[in-house]
Amino acid sequence: MFSIFQKGGPIMWPLLITSLIAVSVVIERLLFILKENRLRQPEVVENILANVEKGDIEAALSCAKNTQDFVAKTLVSGLTHREQSFSSALLHSANQELKRFNKGLSILDTIITLAPLLGLLGTVTGMISAFGLLGNNGLDAPNVITGGISEALIATAFGLLVAIIALIPFNYLNTKLEDARHAIEDASTYLELLLLKSTQTR
Protein backbone atom coordinates (compact mmCIF):
# COMPACT_ATOMS: atom_id res chain seq x y z
CA MET A 1 0.00 0.00 0.00
CA PHE A 2 2.75 2.44 0.96
CA SER A 3 4.64 1.61 -2.26
CA ILE A 4 1.58 2.58 -4.29
CA PHE A 5 1.58 5.99 -2.61
CA GLN A 6 5.26 6.36 -3.40
CA LYS A 7 4.69 5.44 -7.04
CA GLY A 8 1.72 7.77 -7.28
CA GLY A 9 3.85 10.81 -6.57
CA PRO A 10 3.46 13.68 -4.08
CA ILE A 11 -0.15 14.35 -5.10
CA MET A 12 -1.12 11.08 -3.38
CA TRP A 13 -0.76 12.64 0.05
CA PRO A 14 -3.47 15.28 -0.49
CA LEU A 15 -5.60 12.48 -1.93
CA LEU A 16 -4.98 10.38 1.17
CA ILE A 17 -6.00 13.30 3.39
CA THR A 18 -9.22 13.86 1.42
CA SER A 19 -10.04 10.15 1.63
CA LEU A 20 -9.53 10.13 5.42
CA ILE A 21 -11.74 13.21 5.78
CA ALA A 22 -14.42 11.56 3.64
CA VAL A 23 -14.33 8.36 5.71
CA SER A 24 -14.52 10.35 8.97
CA VAL A 25 -17.51 12.39 7.76
CA VAL A 26 -19.32 9.30 6.46
CA ILE A 27 -18.86 7.37 9.72
CA GLU A 28 -20.00 10.35 11.84
CA ARG A 29 -23.05 10.93 9.61
CA LEU A 30 -24.07 7.25 9.58
CA LEU A 31 -23.86 7.16 13.38
CA PHE A 32 -26.00 10.32 13.46
CA ILE A 33 -28.63 8.74 11.19
CA LEU A 34 -28.71 5.58 13.33
CA LYS A 35 -29.15 7.70 16.46
CA GLU A 36 -31.96 9.76 14.92
CA ASN A 37 -33.74 6.62 13.72
CA ARG A 38 -33.52 5.23 17.25
CA LEU A 39 -34.97 8.44 18.69
CA ARG A 40 -37.90 8.59 16.29
CA GLN A 41 -41.30 8.43 18.02
CA PRO A 42 -44.02 8.60 15.36
CA GLU A 43 -46.63 7.77 18.01
CA VAL A 44 -45.76 10.99 19.84
CA VAL A 45 -46.29 12.98 16.64
CA GLU A 46 -49.65 11.26 16.17
CA ASN A 47 -50.63 12.05 19.77
CA ILE A 48 -49.71 15.71 19.30
CA LEU A 49 -51.84 16.00 16.19
CA ALA A 50 -54.72 14.03 17.75
CA ASN A 51 -54.80 16.30 20.82
CA VAL A 52 -54.64 19.43 18.67
CA GLU A 53 -57.54 18.09 16.63
CA LYS A 54 -59.50 17.74 19.88
CA GLY A 55 -58.55 21.30 20.79
CA ASP A 56 -56.44 20.27 23.77
CA ILE A 57 -53.16 22.13 23.15
CA GLU A 58 -51.85 21.57 26.68
CA ALA A 59 -52.24 17.80 26.34
CA ALA A 60 -50.46 17.97 22.99
CA LEU A 61 -47.54 19.80 24.59
CA SER A 62 -47.38 17.53 27.63
CA CYS A 63 -47.30 14.29 25.61
CA ALA A 64 -44.20 15.57 23.82
CA LYS A 65 -42.51 16.99 26.88
CA ASN A 66 -39.36 14.82 26.87
CA THR A 67 -39.33 13.67 23.27
CA GLN A 68 -36.16 13.71 21.16
CA ASP A 69 -38.04 13.08 17.92
CA PHE A 70 -37.06 15.88 15.51
CA VAL A 71 -40.56 16.12 13.99
CA ALA A 72 -42.21 16.29 17.42
CA LYS A 73 -39.74 18.96 18.57
CA THR A 74 -40.62 21.07 15.53
CA LEU A 75 -44.35 20.79 16.24
CA VAL A 76 -43.84 21.63 19.92
CA SER A 77 -41.91 24.76 18.98
CA GLY A 78 -44.75 25.89 16.74
CA LEU A 79 -47.42 25.19 19.37
CA THR A 80 -45.42 26.92 22.10
CA HIS A 81 -45.29 30.13 20.05
CA ARG A 82 -48.69 29.78 18.39
CA GLU A 83 -49.99 33.06 19.83
CA GLN A 84 -47.01 35.13 18.64
CA SER A 85 -45.54 33.75 15.42
CA PHE A 86 -46.60 30.19 14.74
CA SER A 87 -45.30 29.95 11.16
CA SER A 88 -41.98 31.62 12.00
CA ALA A 89 -41.44 29.34 14.99
CA LEU A 90 -42.19 26.25 12.89
CA LEU A 91 -39.86 27.42 10.13
CA HIS A 92 -37.05 28.28 12.54
CA SER A 93 -37.29 24.95 14.36
CA ALA A 94 -37.49 23.01 11.07
CA ASN A 95 -34.40 24.78 9.77
CA GLN A 96 -32.49 23.99 12.96
CA GLU A 97 -33.40 20.30 12.74
CA LEU A 98 -32.59 20.06 9.03
CA LYS A 99 -29.29 21.83 9.63
CA ARG A 100 -28.26 18.87 11.79
CA PHE A 101 -29.08 16.48 8.92
CA ASN A 102 -27.22 18.66 6.44
CA LYS A 103 -24.01 18.80 8.47
CA GLY A 104 -21.00 17.38 6.63
CA LEU A 105 -22.73 17.07 3.24
CA SER A 106 -20.93 20.13 1.85
CA ILE A 107 -17.60 18.53 2.84
CA LEU A 108 -18.47 15.31 0.99
CA ASP A 109 -19.69 17.31 -2.00
CA THR A 110 -16.37 19.17 -2.11
CA ILE A 111 -14.36 15.95 -1.85
CA ILE A 112 -16.36 14.34 -4.67
CA THR A 113 -15.40 17.27 -6.90
CA LEU A 114 -11.87 17.77 -5.56
CA ALA A 115 -10.54 14.18 -5.57
CA PRO A 116 -10.76 13.62 -9.37
CA LEU A 117 -9.21 17.06 -9.94
CA LEU A 118 -6.31 16.15 -7.65
CA GLY A 119 -5.95 12.87 -9.55
CA LEU A 120 -5.94 14.81 -12.81
CA LEU A 121 -3.27 17.12 -11.39
CA GLY A 122 -1.24 14.02 -10.53
CA THR A 123 -1.67 12.85 -14.11
CA VAL A 124 -0.41 16.15 -15.51
CA THR A 125 2.59 16.36 -13.16
CA GLY A 126 3.46 12.70 -13.83
CA MET A 127 3.37 13.22 -17.58
CA ILE A 128 5.41 16.43 -17.31
CA SER A 129 7.98 14.56 -15.25
CA ALA A 130 8.06 11.65 -17.72
CA PHE A 131 8.50 13.83 -20.79
CA GLY A 132 11.03 16.01 -18.98
CA LEU A 133 13.16 12.97 -18.25
CA LEU A 134 12.58 11.71 -21.79
CA GLY A 135 14.00 14.96 -23.12
CA ASN A 136 17.11 14.52 -21.00
CA ASN A 137 17.69 10.82 -21.68
CA GLY A 138 16.23 10.43 -25.15
CA LEU A 139 14.85 6.99 -25.98
CA ASP A 140 17.59 5.20 -24.07
CA ALA A 141 15.54 5.02 -20.85
CA PRO A 142 12.05 3.63 -21.61
CA ASN A 143 11.59 2.80 -17.92
CA VAL A 144 11.60 6.51 -17.19
CA ILE A 145 8.63 7.03 -19.47
CA THR A 146 6.64 4.09 -18.16
CA GLY A 147 7.38 5.13 -14.58
CA GLY A 148 5.98 8.61 -15.21
CA ILE A 149 2.88 7.21 -16.93
CA SER A 150 2.41 4.75 -14.04
CA GLU A 151 2.55 7.66 -11.56
CA ALA A 152 -0.02 9.54 -13.60
CA LEU A 153 -2.44 6.59 -13.84
CA ILE A 154 -2.17 5.71 -10.13
CA ALA A 155 -3.02 9.28 -9.09
CA THR A 156 -5.98 9.41 -11.50
CA ALA A 157 -7.32 6.03 -10.40
CA PHE A 158 -7.04 6.88 -6.72
CA GLY A 159 -8.74 10.26 -7.21
CA LEU A 160 -11.64 8.61 -9.02
CA LEU A 161 -11.84 5.87 -6.37
CA VAL A 162 -12.11 8.44 -3.56
CA ALA A 163 -14.87 10.31 -5.44
CA ILE A 164 -16.84 7.12 -6.18
CA ILE A 165 -16.60 5.89 -2.59
CA ALA A 166 -17.72 9.29 -1.26
CA LEU A 167 -20.56 9.60 -3.80
CA ILE A 168 -22.54 6.59 -2.57
CA PRO A 169 -22.92 7.70 1.09
CA PHE A 170 -23.38 11.31 -0.10
CA ASN A 171 -26.47 10.31 -2.10
CA TYR A 172 -27.73 8.17 0.78
CA LEU A 173 -27.32 11.05 3.26
CA ASN A 174 -29.04 13.43 0.86
CA THR A 175 -31.97 11.00 0.69
CA LYS A 176 -32.17 10.96 4.49
CA LEU A 177 -32.11 14.77 4.53
CA GLU A 178 -35.02 14.88 2.06
CA ASP A 179 -36.91 12.26 4.08
CA ALA A 180 -36.51 14.40 7.20
CA ARG A 181 -37.64 17.51 5.30
CA HIS A 182 -40.76 15.77 4.00
CA ALA A 183 -41.60 14.36 7.45
CA ILE A 184 -41.35 17.82 9.03
CA GLU A 185 -43.26 19.53 6.20
CA ASP A 186 -46.10 16.97 6.24
CA ALA A 187 -46.56 17.15 10.02
CA SER A 188 -46.22 20.95 10.09
CA THR A 189 -48.76 21.43 7.29
CA TYR A 190 -51.23 19.10 8.98
CA LEU A 191 -50.76 20.90 12.31
CA GLU A 192 -51.32 24.27 10.65
CA LEU A 193 -54.53 23.00 9.04
CA LEU A 194 -55.78 21.66 12.38
CA LEU A 195 -55.13 24.96 14.13
CA LEU A 196 -56.80 26.87 11.29
CA LYS A 197 -59.81 24.56 11.49
CA SER A 198 -60.06 25.00 15.27
CA THR A 199 -60.03 28.81 14.98
CA GLN A 200 -62.73 28.73 12.32
CA THR A 201 -65.06 26.56 14.44
CA ARG A 202 -64.85 28.86 17.48
pLDDT in tens, 89-112: 899 999 999 999 999 999 999 999
Nearest to 77 by CA among 201, 193, 191: 191
Contact at 8 Å (CB) between 133 and 141?
Answer: yes
pLDDT (average), residues 179-197: 91
Q: What is the pLDDT of residue 127?
A: 78
Does the pLDDT at position 113 exceed 70?
yes
Indicate the domain borders of the chain. Answer: 8-200
pLDDT (average), residues 166-175: 96
Does the pLDDT at position 137 exceed 90?
no
Does the pLDDT at position 151 exceed 90?
no
| 3-class secondary structure per residue, the chain | CHHHHHHHCCCHHHHHHHHHHHHHHHHHHHHHHHHHHHHCCHHHHHHHHHHHHHCCHHHHHHHCCCCCCHHHHHHHHHHHCHHHHHHHHHHHHHHHHHHHHHCCHHHHHHHHHHHHHHHHHHHHHHHHHHHHHHHHHHHHCHHHHHHHHHHHHHHHHHHHHHHHHHHHHHHHHHHHHHHHHHHHHHHHHHHHHHHHHHHHCC
Note the pLDDT tens digit of each residue in 30-67.
Answer: 999 999 999 999 999 999 999 998 888 899 999 888 89
pLDDT classification of 196: cutoffs 50, 70, 90: confident
What's the whole-model pTM score? 0.83
Contact at 8 Å (CB) between 170 and 109?
Answer: yes
Q: What is the pLDDT of residue 154?
A: 85
